[in-house]
């Protein structure tokens, strides 16, 4: 998948057309995630402009989340509307998302069938073969899980990659040091995760990604509907939403990149791009990466993405 990512950027290399790094990273993480979760390649990296419409819809999803938190019945109502009806009233960008929902539904229906003749094994198969109760393996539940897992895999990893690449290509000394370290590996080893994990400087650079990018800006509230909660000297009444703050810096020592698909994406994509391309950032700045609003994910001041002129690196 990293080779396909680089092939897409190759089309812009040496030209006066800018490539949108944010859109390409979103396309990359979507294709990787859907293959692992659903067993299907949506080919975002093969489409013109890396399916930018889908990226735009995901970035605007915060508006729906705000409203449905305060109007709980609106979410189920919208979900009950036929997709064919929604396609008639939404803009072109949203139609990309609706087409994803259509295919997601058919795949979830197939995944809900516990069949032995499947020629792939996905996360959905693991759920079906787990010890979860039957009501946790219904089509509706699996469809919801597909939406939650794919959404998390799309947005958080893509935003972290954007953070890493923005800071790497804003500082030439980082680029030079990364390339020097990557040059110690054999040629065409970008897709081999194990040797990349052994590179201390690359690992240090990537570890800054989650620190700078929290993945999601919100904290999902939890509610005890039938009882009050005692916390220290305070009593939280039944039905009151509770939320806690996250401190990711306390968890870094527990992270094991080898066990995480997201970390594999960070290592492989970053190494491949740094070795093959120079990016001259075009009118990019903190406005493209700093979190300024809660869109469930991190909302940035400029939602247009990080644009850059690409040039191939010849060793």
The helix/strand/coil state of 222 is strand
Total domains in the fold of the chain: 1
Is the separation of the CB atoms in 166 and 306 below 8 Å? yes
Q: What domain range is 307 assigned to?
A: 2-312
Q: What is the pLDDT of residue 259?
A: 46
What span, in angstroms and rounded, lies between the C-alpha atoms of 61 and 29? 17
Read off the pLDDT of residues 124-178 as tens digits, 9 standing for 90 and up. Answer: 777 777 788 887 777 677 777 777 777 667 777 888 898 899 999 999 999 999 9
For the segment 222-231, the average pLDDT, to the nearest whole number, is 86
- Angle between the N-to-C axes of helices 21-38 and 261-276, in degrees from 0 to 180, rounded to the nearest 10: 140
For the segment 22-26, the average pLDDT, to the nearest whole number, is 87
Q: Which residue has the higher pLDDT, 169 or 40?
A: 169
Whether the pLDDT of residue 199 is over 60: the answer is: yes
What span, in angstroms and rounded, lies between the C-alpha atoms of 168 and 179? 11
Q: Give the phi and the psi of residue 153 in degrees, each rounded to 5.
A: -70, -35
Q: What is the pLDDT of residue 185?
A: 87
CATH of the domain at 213: 1.10.630.10
């Amino acid at each position: 998948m990293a080779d396909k990512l680089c092939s897409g950027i190759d089309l812009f290399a040496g030209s006066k057309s800018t490539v949108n790094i944010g859109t390409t990273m979103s396309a990359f993480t979507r294709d990787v995630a859907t293959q692992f979760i659903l067993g299907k390649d949506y080919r975002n990296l093969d489409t013109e402009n890396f399916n930018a419409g889908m990226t735009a819809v995901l970035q605007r999803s915060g508006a729906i989340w705000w409203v449905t938190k305060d109007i709980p019945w609106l979410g189920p109502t919208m979900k009950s509307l036929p997709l064919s009806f929604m396609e008639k009233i939404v803009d072109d960008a949203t139609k990309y998302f609706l087409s994803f929902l259509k295919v997601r539904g058919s795949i979830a229906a197939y995944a809900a069938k516990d069949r032995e003749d499947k020629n792939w094994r996905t996360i959905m198969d693991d759920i079906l073969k787990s010890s979860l109760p039957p009501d946790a393996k219904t089509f509706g539940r699996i469809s919801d899980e597909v939406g939650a897992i794919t959404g998390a895999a799309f947005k958080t990893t893509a935003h972290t990659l954007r953070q890493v690449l923005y800071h790497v290509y804003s500082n030439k000394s980082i680029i030079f040091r990364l390339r020097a370290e990557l040059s110690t590996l054999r040629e065409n080893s970008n897709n081999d995760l194990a040797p990349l994990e052994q590179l201390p400087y690359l690992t240090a650079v990537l570890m800054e990604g989650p620190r700078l990018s929290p993945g999601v800006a919100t904290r999902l509230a939890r509610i005890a509907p039938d009882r009050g909660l005692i916390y220290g000297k305070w009593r939280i009444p039944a039905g009151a939403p509770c939320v806690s703050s996250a401190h990711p810096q306390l968890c870094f020592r527990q992270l094991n990149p080898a066990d995480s698909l997201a970390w594999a994406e960070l290592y492989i994509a970053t190494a491949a791009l740094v070795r093959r391309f120079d990016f001259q950032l075009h009118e990019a700045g903190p406005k493209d990466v700093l979190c300024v609003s809660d869109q469930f994910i991190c909302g940035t001041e400029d939602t247009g993405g990080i644009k850059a002129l690409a040039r191939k690196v010849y060793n």
